[in-house]
Amino acid sequence: MKLEQKIRIHLSHYPIIYAFIVGIGIVLFWRGVWHTADQVHDVINHFSSMSSTSLSGAMWWDGPLSLVVGCLMLYFTGAFTSSFIGNELILSGLRGEKRLNERTEADIKDEISAISDIKDELGAISDKLELLKKHANHQGSAQE
């Protein structure tokens, strides 16, 4: 079993701790992105003092280290992709579905038609179940 799976299985028994670790991972990830972007901005602007955070006293590895630690925490808790991409987007990709803005009008009409057919079938099944219930109740009262 992979290390990621073992960690996720273990943490799933402690949802509050799991959420806390994932929360810290998300904050560290975005802190790393922010600080690294500020450091790149400072390098591009020749170490100007107009940074959004005071990075003049910070070590050069502060932002990248936060980014790496955040990524590792999110990866090993299994929350990396679900935090940033979302489960539905991942599942639709695995199923080979198109994004809504990629679908044609014909695709959407076909799906609406299929849903309508399913509703009709469910209605017919529901009607048959009602008839069976009535028949069963009638049989049960006739035997008494």
Q: Per-residue pLDDT tens for 57-98?
A: 557 677 888 989 998 888 888 787 766 666 565 556 656 666
CA distance 56 to 41: 12
Query: Considering just the CA atoms, what is the radius of gyration of the chain in Å?
Result: 28
Q: How many angstroms separate the CA atoms of 133 and 144, rounded?
A: 17
Q: What is the DSSP letter of 47?
A: S
Which ranges of the chain does DSSP label H, i.e. alpha helix?
Answer: 3-12, 15-44, 62-76, 80-84, 87-95, 105-143
Q: What are phi and psi of 139, to 5 degrees?
A: -65, -40
Residues 6+ apart with CB under 8 A from 114: none
CA distances from 12 to 27, 30, 70, 76, 135 (A): 20, 24, 19, 13, 48
Question: In the prediction, which pLDDT does 110 show?
Answer: 85
Any idea which of 6-20, 51-65, 80-94, 100-114 has the lowest mean pLDDT? 80-94
Contact status, residue 40 vs residue 94, Cβ threshold 8 Å: no
Q: What percent of the chain stands above pLDDT 70?
A: 70
The tokens 């509050």 sit on which residue? 16
Of 23-27, 125-129, 140-144, minimum mean pLDDT range: 140-144
Residues 25-34: pLDDT tens digits?
989 998 999 9
